[in-house]
Chain A
Amino acid sequence: MRQDWARLPERGNRWALRLIRWIALHGGRATGRALLYPITLYFLLAATAARRGSRLYLRRSLGREPGWRDLFRHLHCFAATILDRIYFLIGQLGRFDVKIFDGQLILDQVASGQGCILLGSHLGSFEALRALGATVRHLPIKILMKIEHNQTVTELLDALNPALAQTIIPIGRPETLLQVQESLEQGFLVGALGDRVAQGDKIVHCQFLGQTVAFPVGPMLLAGLMGCPVILFFGLYRGGNRYDIHFERLAERIVLEPRRRQEQLAVWTQRYADRLEHYLRLAPYNWFNFYDYWDEESA
């Protein structure tokens, strides 16, 4: 079931998040990182659904049967980015060695005064970008986010940086995209994640890691309707305190003709899927969709 993500893994683990946050704020990053090992081990044993999702994904991306070490590494990578998310949110970027690739693209876009869609994914950490953009560089960024799904995370993390919380546009209300439209007109970079399908989303099918899978067309449709550029971003966690943030222009403008709309949306979404696959190959353990992404088990 592709909607399984709504339950995984953020939702069920309120106490773990609280614990990680407490450790991060009171114990320091070294303590936090040391404790990530037992926490990861616990999840490896207890979170069977997440483990199954991880196994299905790793089998596909590594091209072999993943062992316990691979599964551990995958969950540990996720836990590490959650811990770091806290430091990003409180603006402690100095702790990190962040390499930015093609950052000029973003600066040029901001200078142009025209808004754009910043399209990311659940590959790696989008918080790195959000913290860097909004807190350090004071770039005009807004993020589309499913508040209902992320309630726990949102509550816990927003308390750390209320100003950053203001930059969220909640998804799932009739006026959501009117708000996006206004933000784009005001020159905001509007961030969205394009790799998860929610109930009722319009979709297209793309080739992704060797199999057909549904992607939401929302972001491309939005860019098409608004006539704005689409810039991709990937915040890859490289171990230790290292993050690589990649920017890449996907489209200067997405032109949709009424009769060929579905076909054109499919072409652009496939390009996104191709780039996602490219970056996923660079950092395979950064894939944070811990569910049956390719719908293999219900087949």
Chain B
Amino acid sequence: MTAVPAPAGSFPAARRFGAVLPLLRGVLALAAVLAAVELIVIALGIRPYVLPRPSAVFEAILRTPAAYRDAIIRTGLETLYGFAAGALFGIGIGIAFSRLRFLRETVFPIFIVSQTIPVIAFGALVVMWFGNTILAKSVIVFYLTFFPVTVNTLLGMRAVDQKQVQLLKSFGASEGEILRKLRFPTALPHIFVALRISSALGLAGAVVGEWFGDTTGLGVLLLQGMYAENMVAIWASVFCSALLGVALFSAIGFAERRIVFWGGSDA
């Protein structure tokens, strides 16, 4: 999605520019904020161990780009695997709950109880089971992701217009057809709301998961920065985490605009 000049017609070009515009605006706003922070730090003489200059943070990243790149990839993969699994599981089980009352009444309460256990308490256990692997962190991400997706899928499947159900029935549609052609598309906007929430939660889960033991990742860099009392390294890790978070969020937003193009929920 870079600003490539459009090959044909002015209309697609305008539309592509329209898609890039918010991104450009975001980048400009971020640059302005960073420049302002830089000026304030210099003007007020704030000490680097309280708040380092953004330029110093960027310098630190550029000095050892490989370390930060690897950390982003590692944490990104952990989040992605866990998130994908959580999203698919959440959608699947949400649909199952909407169809099977028995399952909903027996399993759903267990899900709710599971979410009352703080992920930190759970994290230690997962690392004991799966070791210092990507899998361990992905499981934590999964644990944080699936629940909002399940709840919103169930909600979305029930948000269907009963008149539309009746119309499809009058055409002779089976329950399965109503599910595929009506209920699931109706649920999609709700599902995307949950996916956006889950992506932020999942990333936090991956970072925290790394604190239980790992050698690469943004959480590891954060921890190392903290132990070394290196404010610049901490801020560099925070910046990279933010970058990853924004990338995930944007990717989901992009998919949402493509898939839920009819504007089920506007945001």
Q: Do A and B bind each other?
A: no
